[in-house]
Every structure is written in C-alpha cells, then in structure tokens.
Amino acid sequence: MGAEVVSPHGRRHAAAGTPRDGRFRIGSLTKTFTAVVALQLPGLSLDTLVHHWLPEVTRDITLRDLLRHTSRLLDPSIPALTSAEGYRAERMRSYTPKELAGAALRLGTAPEGWSYANTNFLLTAMIIERITGRSWAEEITDRIIRPLRLDATSAPGESPFIPGPHARGWASFGTGTQLDVTLLNPSMAIGSGALVSSVRDLGLFYAALLGDELLPPARLAEMTTTIPAPGLGIDGARYGLGLAELPLPDGRRFYSHFGELLGYHAWAGVTADGSRTAVVYVTGDGTEATMDAMSALIEDGVGGTS
C-alpha cells in the first residue's frame, strides 16, 4: 500500500511492501482525467446528444449524461475481471472501444436516476477521439500528463505490464485463494479505468484541477456542480462530471474519486481550493475494514489542519 497527504504545511508519505513512488492501476480515478480532457475541448456542448458524434448510439442521452452517470447505460461482463478461470483465459485479450460499446448498447437500461457505469466514460473517450482525430491516450498524455510532469502516470493501451517500479495486484475472486493478477491487458477500461499512476502524481493532478490549472473557471464550475449519487453507498454523496463530492464528519465537503481495477484499489480526495490532497491505494480484494481505513485516511488528510 501507499499513501500521501499534501497540505500547505508539507507532505506526508507512507508505504508498505512497495517502492516509495510505486505505480499501480488507478481504476476509476481515470474518469476524472477523461472528463477533464472532454471539458478542455473548445466549443464542446455538454447538452449535445451523443448521437451527434457516435451515430451508433441512438438513445437520447447527452455528453452531460455520460459524465455524471445519468445515461442509464449498463456495463457488459468482462470474464477476466469476474473469475479466476476468466482471468487466466482472457487476461491478455484485447478489446476495441467499438466492441465494448456495441455490447453495452445491446443491454437493457438502468433505472431512472443516477447509475454508475464504465460505459459512460468509454463513450466519452470515443467522442474525444472522434472530435480530435487522435487517440484518447494521446489526448490524456498531451493535455494532462506532460504539462503537469506526471512522470509515473501513463496510458498503457493494450500492454499488460505496469511500467516502472510497482506493487503487485492480488485477487481471490471469492475463492479464498489469492491469485497474482498484476498482468492484465487494460483495454476493457479505456476511458474509464485504464491509467497507471502513483500517489504523488494523483495528488498533483487533483491539486492542479481544483487549483484552476486545467480548466477555465466556468468549466470547472460545471464539473463541480453535483447531483445526489446514492449509488456510491456513502450518505450525502453527490457526483458532478467525473468527480464525486463527499461530506466530512464536521459538515464540510470535499471532492474525490474512488478507483478499482482487479487487484488494486485507490482513493483520492482534494479540498475545493486544491490546497490539500490525500491519496491512498492498496492491493488485494478490498475488504470492508480496508475500505473503512482508506476512507478514514482520506477524511483525515483532506479535513485536517496540519
């Protein structure tokens, strides 16, 4: 595991069983990166129907619906993520965005209201590619990773390896026996969960975002305008555009995202002005006790005064 808290008073770092700036799969923290790139595109209207860019999407949903999870789209099943047998058989399988989108669009719909789905950010990545003529990974790299000098962050494409020093991921798939799942082709998570990063880089990214370095004020205001998100399982949780808003025990609020991709769990939090960040990750299945400990660290890091 690894954790880092940054405040105006300095930086605190802790690590166990992993290099100090070890890399890991950040899972759905990727969604914030994808949302930032979409919001950076000039003239992009959040209320344009997705069909405008992706004719295969015939449902009446907008880009705003994708970014805040109100599209009612569902996720197709990925065998490598659901069982040990599926992992062994398909850990190296490559998916195309078109293939995943087609599978998702053949499914039914979620109930009305807020409903989390990776498909939302897969389609957002496809829109980014359609508008720019460049890959999602290239846009993430040129618009965020390089300008912020996030040296430990990368979009690995179809590579199953985690570049640089890293922690190994473990999963039991409910069997009680831990399986090393570090090796994984992350193409099933393009746009939604494919990035690799470190606690340092994630702290820099979220501080830059809320510190007005990545988006014009009007766009950041849209991103941080939130709606109730009961599906997150946290009382008082709300969700904006690729960014959650969570309560602190003292009534204050902060921005956040949680991520998970087979064997890795990550959580980042940041104050509204970007002055304090807290990032933590662990490997393994992520028990309730582990999640509680991660939550406590984030709340203490973001809500503290030292």
In angstroms, rounded to a whole number, what is the distance separating the alpha carbons of residues 93 and 46?
33
Q: 3-state class of 146 per DSSP?
A: coil
pLDDT of residue 258: 97
pLDDT of residue 16: 75
Q: Which two tokens stand for residue 227?
A: 């709606």
**Residue 279 burial by Cβ neighbours in a 10 Å radius (0-12, 13-18, 19+):** buried
Kindly write down the DSSP assignment for every residue of 153-172, as one continuous string. Answer: -B--TT--S--SSBPPPEE-
CATH number (domain holding residue 192): 3.40.710.10
pLDDT of residue 294: 93
E-strand spans in 158-300? 170-171, 179-180, 196-197, 227-228, 238-239, 244-247, 253-261, 264-270, 277-283
> Which residue range is the domain that position 161 belongs to?
2-303
pLDDT of residue 244: 98
Contact 238, 244 (CB under 8 A): yes
pLDDT of residue 120: 98
The pTM score is: 0.97
**Residue 199 burial by Cβ neighbours in a 10 Å radius (0-12, 13-18, 19+):** buried
pLDDT of residue 12: 87
pLDDT of residue 43: 85
HSE-up (13 A, CA, CB side) for residue 248: 19
Pairing of the two strands 2-7 and 179-180? unpaired
Question: What is the block-wise mean pLDDT of the chain (306 residues), using blocks of 10 residues?
Answer: 89 77 95 98 94 96 98 97 97 97 96 96 98 97 98 95 94 94 98 98 98 97 97 95 96 96 97 96 90 93 84
Say how many domains are in the chain. 1
pLDDT of residue 133: 97
Q: Which helix (H) or strand (E) holds 142?
A: none
Tell me the C-alpha to C-alpha distance, in Å, between residue 61 and each of 25, 52, 54, 64: 30, 10, 11, 8
Percent helix, strand, coil in the chain, to 5, is: 35, 20, 45
pLDDT of residue 29: 98
pLDDT of residue 14: 83
pLDDT of residue 154: 97
Q: What angle do CA 27, 291, 285 make, to 5 degrees?
A: 60
Of 238, 242, 240, the residue nearest 229 (C-alpha): 238
Contact 242, 219 (CB under 8 A): no
pLDDT of residue 138: 98
